[in-house]
A = this chain, B = another copy of it.
C-alpha cells in the first residue's frame, strides 16, 4: 500500500505536475486532481497572502490515514495528498490532491472526498492576511472522531 500513496505537509511549493507524475500508472484510466489556490479577492476584501500552520507530524499521519481509506474504498491505483504550510502567496497552491483509478467515477469521488476530509479533519490552520495589514484565523471545523480511541 505504501508505495501507492504520497503524503506531504511542509513549506515547499506544490506543483500539479509532481502530483500527476506520482499517480500516473498504466493501470489507470483516469486521473482526477484538485488544487486549492489562494484567491486574491473574496468579495471586496483583498487577501495578500495566506499563512498555514500545521501540527505537521500528526497532519501527515492523518492525511495518510485518509489516503489509505480512499485507496481502499474507491479502488484507487495511487493517491497523492499534500498541504503546504507557511506563507502562500495568491495564485499559489495550498493543497493538492491527485488520484488515479481504472474508471473516472471513482477518481472524481475519491478526489472530492479527500479534499473535503483534508479541510475538516487534518490539524492545519489558515490565517488570512489582508492588504491593510490585519490578520485573521479562519473559522474552521471540529474534526470528527471516527470510532478511534476513547
Contact = CB atoms under 8 A, between A and B. Distances in A.
A65 interface: no
A130 interface: no
A40 B102 CA distance: 10
Interface residues of A, number: 31
A32 to B, nearest CB: 5
Question: What's the number of copies of this chain in the assembled complex?
Answer: 2
A39 interface: yes
Given A17-B17, A108-B112, A28 B39 contact: yes
A91 interface: yes
What are the 8 closest A-B residue pairs judged by CB atoms, nearest first? A33-B33, A26-B40, A31-B35, A29-B39, A17-B17, A16-B20, A26-B91, A26-B90
